[in-house]
Chain A
């Protein structure tokens, strides 16, 4: 995957960005209203279909990092494993191959120049239409001594296990658990990979794009809520949850 492609999430419509922006409110209104009823329930492919991002290059936002000795050094050490080194809005992003991900994290943590001693955040994004690279684990690192941030990305196929970094930064422990909970990305070597926010037996992983937004899991609720028969005339009440038998 090249640098340019990285910033263009999914293939979509060819609507140019420039023409949309200065359009007055009349153009905006129908757009907003067209979007609003769009997120209906149980429409798994709804969201990924909508993006109208131009696949064209956006050099104003994404460009290769030039003249940064540290990044150059990393490129030198990890060579082909670094598939991308871009700076967007003043924030540096490196994409690394999965097999050298942990090695690179260890390097960033230990190296005297880097000293990325804090894992600010760890999250993931889901790109269903990128075949073979559906998930992207994003690691936000911060170096307290150097006051510098860097973002590391790893692309994973659906079902791939991502190596854990929770032994390098203990703080990544819960963040990886949350990614597992929300995306179903497994972290190999994680000491305690359980769901963190949702119940253990919850079906599905909510932040995947195919997971619908308006969704009520009646089966799960049935399993966990104790029903008690109450004598009342059900014809008078609009029973929504009671259809069990």
Chain B
């Protein structure tokens, strides 16, 4: 069966060719139009279903965190809930406010969702044929396209002609722009090691080095995670749609499937940012021992599963954050973006560069074995010295230095002067303990 799958994936273009009855040699339509369309449909189908089930997952995860059950009514354990939700949203009335800018109002969610979905093309879902398009500027493409998404939100907020929407749009544009900077800075460190922007290339580089870049780039990874939360408008940075303040932010006036498109965009971009994090820092679809699988098809399938599992871990992390933490205030969010994330990202780039250059002269043509990754030779033996050097510099030296830098920058706002407040709590606690102790002592005395 697995064999059939590979054959199917590899031979399918041929079939398309035959089906379109194009003469051999003029495979343009088959290879560049029909077959990509089929691929797109497959990926879209899978991803959109996945997104629907991410909503289900989110509801279940939150339910379990909150001591309740979550959706239980539609299907066993509520498994058909996404279908019911989708149906409901499709059938709902599409309300457009009277004073709204109709065209822009209608286009905005489409921009938002398209920007989120286009990015899926270059994500390496797995080994070999599971990577749909191996563009050599993949990462750049992702960053460029995903920042178009903010346009959708801004337009939606503006076109709704509602004050809450407008405030939400303003917040989201400011937030996404500031966090994109931090995000861009955070990945540069990893790119220094990968030396390529191709998504598949980054994974291969990590395989060649025999290490995931999260070990070289702990700070970069953390910054990336935080900025990705901000970029996707997830809690605790969900200010653009902060329901307790702005009702629903930029999509206050949306209903029905247009609203669902925003929702889809949000979850898709969650998926995308997690996928980038996995690719850049967690070794993509690679996993120790994966090379032992000799069957090519099984190898690809397992690689897809591994990739999905890693993405899911990150998404679970997102959900965990969301249901644990309160929401930042707008100015605090900006503070965090500009005074913590961006300086940390910059410092990280500088320090990583320094460690890299320091390592360079020692053995030109093979710095600790790591320069081999330019050769993309998977069989080259790992130089443990190189790995240890970068892990140690990354963890032991970079983290304290960056901590110092941030402490210096934020020396005024770092603490909340909680001494006074804490005293009250401590006093009350002491009294409480005393009270609990006294009756016991009295009881003992009496007995």
A and B in contact, CB less than 8 Å: no
Q: Residues of B at under 8 Å CB distance from A?
A: none
Residues on A lying within 8 angstroms of B by beta carbon are: none
